[in-house]
């Protein structure tokens, strides 16, 4: 009777152990490392001089001063913020590229486009957008931080842009 119990117990342990191994390895995807997702709570748009022109943090608009004249171009760097409101350092992991996607703007008022550029000889990548004033009026856009084919972060609010005549 004791041997029957041990045989039965051993079979259950083998099944449990095999299930744990399959479950653990089944959640690992070698082609896509989920540890490199950006867990952002907001973002800042800064001018070339380092002036904060727009900031969204935890869904609230903190700074909103995105204005330009017809014919002008604003080059803005994009910095994502962690849960403490500190900038998240952008790291290249050699796998899927992160990039920006802009949606929803009225291109007859302002053209908003994303650009990534290298700074000097360093490996540092900076995310940036360009806004070109086309005609007087207001428009808005959504900003998404893309990771492969999905967004790691999408702005909670539409980012407003005002284009003035410049007179």
User: Which range marks the domain in which residue 18 is found?
Assistant: 1-30
Residue-level pLDDT at 137: 97
Evaluate whether 138 touches 70 at the Cβ level (below 8 Å): no
**CATH classification at residue 132:** 2.60.40.10
Alpha-carbon gap, residue 75 to 116, rounded angstroms: 11
Pair 89, 16 in one domain? no
Pair 3, 76 in one domain? no
Pair 142, 89 in one domain? yes
Evaluate whether 15 touches 9 at the Cβ level (below 8 Å): no
Alpha-carbon gap, residue 117 to 86, rounded angstroms: 22
Lowest-confidence region among 27-36, 43-52, 55-64, 130-139:
27-36
pLDDT digits (tens, 9 = 90+) for 119-145: 554 444 579 999 999 999 999 999 999
Alpha-carbon gap, residue 140 to 65, rounded angstroms: 13
Pair 1, 61 in one domain? no
Q: How many CB atoms lie within 10 A of CB 7?
A: 10
Pair 41, 101 in one domain? yes
**Number of domains the chain contains:** 2
pLDDT digits (tens, 9 = 90+) for 1-33: 555 555 666 666 667 666 666 655 544 444 444
């Amino acid at each position: 009777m004791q041997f029957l119990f041990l045989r039965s117990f051993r079979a259950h342990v083998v099944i449990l152990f095999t299930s744990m191994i399959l479950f653990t390895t089944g959640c690992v995807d070698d082609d896509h490392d989920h540890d490199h997702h950006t867990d952002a709570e907001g973002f800042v748009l800064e001018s070339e001089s380092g002036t904060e022109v727009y900031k969204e943090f935890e869904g609230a608009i903190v700074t909103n001063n995105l204005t330009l004249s017809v014919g002008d171009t604003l080059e803005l760097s994009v910095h994502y913020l962690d849960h403490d409101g500190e900038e998240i350092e952008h790291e290249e992991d050699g796998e899927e590229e992160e990039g920006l996607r802009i949606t929803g703007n009225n291109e007859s008022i302002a053209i908003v486009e994303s650009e990534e550029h290298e700074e000097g000889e360093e490996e540092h990548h900076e995310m940036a957008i360009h806004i070109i004033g086309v005609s007087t009026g207001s428009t808005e856009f959504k900003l998404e931080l893309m990771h492969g084919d999905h967004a790691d972060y999408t702005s909670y609010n539409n980012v407003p842009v005002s284009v003035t005549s410049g007179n």
